[in-house]
Structure 1
Amino acid sequence: MRWFTAFIALVAFNVSANTLTLSSHPDTLAQNIRSSWQECDEQTWCEDKLAYYRGSYVAEATISQSSLEIELLSEFSTHQLSQLQLNLRSDGFSLQSVEVMGERFDISQQSSQHSVSEINASLVQFINRYPQTVARQLAWQSELWDAELISDGEIISLRFMSRD
C-alpha cells in the first residue's frame, strides 16, 4: 500500500514526457535526467510520465557522484509485468534469480548442474506454480546495470542500478 500512495503522490506532478533508453552510459543518462526531469529532493529527480518501450511510468532517479538509480512505478497488470520482462531482455539483461513467496530459483546456481534448456524448463515450471498476482522479485543484470523487478499484485516497481 505504501507504494500505491507514493505512486499517487508522484502522479500529481505535471512534467513533460521523456523516454528511458538504457543504451547510453549511466553518466550520460544522469546528465540527461538532471536537465529534463524535475528536481524533487536533494540528488533526486522525478518524472510523472516516463516512457519505457510502450509503457508509461512514474519515475524517480537518485544520482550520486558514483551511482545512478532509477525506479519506475506502475499499477499492476499481468500484461505490464510480462512486457517489462520482454523489454529487459531486449535491453540485453539476463535473468539472475527469481523469488516468489519465499522460494528462490537461482539461475547461476542451476547453470553449473543443468543445460540451458533444462534451466529454462525448470524456471517456467517454478514461475507457473504461482499466480502472477502474488509477490515476486526478479533480479536481472546487464553489462552496465543491475535491475530488480518487484511486483506485489498492486504495484510494479522496476529499479535500475548502475554497476561500478
Structure 2
Amino acid sequence: MRWFTAFIALFSLNVSVAFNASANTLTLSSQPDTLRQNILSSWQECDENTWCEDELGYYRESYFAQAIVGESALEIELLSEFSAHQLSQLQLNLRSDGFSLQSVEVMEQRFDISQQSSQRSMSEVDEALVRFINRYPQTAPRKLVWYSPLWDAELISDGEIISLRFMSGDYTE
C-alpha cells in the first residue's frame, strides 16, 4: 500500500529536476537526531509517525520524501521516476556522502563485496562488480545496499520507480 501511495503521489507531483533553493534539502552529514528534529518541525505529518515532503532536494535533484520517525530510529525514503541518469547520480551522491557499497542484487543474482574481497584484491573485486552489473540492462530490478558510519542505505529500482532509503538507529520494518 505504501508503494502504491508513493507511486500515485509521484505522478500527481510536478517534480522539478533543477535544484530549488527554497525547497528543503537533505544533508546526511547532520546527526540523525538533528535531522529528526528538522523533519518534525518542517515536514508535513501524513500518518502516525510518518512525515512527508513533496519536494526534497538531495544534491541537484528533487524527490518526494517520506520519513518514519521513531524514538530510537529514523528512516527517510526518497522516491522518483526511473531514469538511468538518476540511478547513476544517486550512486555518485552516496559515494560523495561517504557510503560504501556492500552488496548488489540484480534480477535475484547477488554480488557480496565483503565476501568477494576476502578472496580477491579490491581492484579484482571492482572489476568483477562492474562486469556483474553490466550483464543486466539498467531497467532490470536491482537493490544496492550501502553503509556509512551514521546510516545504512538501500537503493532499489524496478525500472519504473527509484527508491533510496536511509536508515539510522534500530529501525526494523
TM-score interval, normalised by the smaller of the two chains: over 0.9
Q: Which runs of 5+ in 1 are unaligned?
A: none
Structure 2 counterpart of 1:86, from 92, 98, 115: 92
> Which portions of structure 1, spanning 4 or more consecutive aligned residues, are displaced by more than 3 angstroms?
2-5, 10-14
Q: Distance in 2 between matches of 1:125 and 1:30?
A: 39
The alignment yields a C-alpha RMSD, in angstroms, of 2.0
**1:135 and 2:164 matched:** no
Q: Distance in 1 between matches of 2:89 and 2:99?
A: 14
% identical equivalent positions: 79
2:153 paired residue number: 147
Alpha carbons 1:11, 1:58 under 8 Å: kept: no
Alpha carbons 2:143, 2:156 under 8 Å: kept: yes
2:3 paired residue number: 3
Q: Distance in 2 between matches of 1:144 and 1:163?
A: 8
Q: Distance in 2 between matches of 1:78 and 1:11?
A: 18
Deviates more, 1:130-139 or 1:16-25: 16-25
SS of 1:72 mapped into structure 2: strand
Q: Distance in 2 between matches of 1:91 and 1:65?
A: 25
Alpha carbons 1:146, 1:163 under 8 Å: kept: no
How far has the Cα of 1:152 moved from its partner?
0.4
* CA distance 1:17–1:11, change in 2 (3 Å): farther
* CA distance 1:43–1:13, change in 2 (3 Å): farther
Alignment length (residue pairs): 163
Alpha carbons 2:10, 2:81 under 8 Å: kept: no
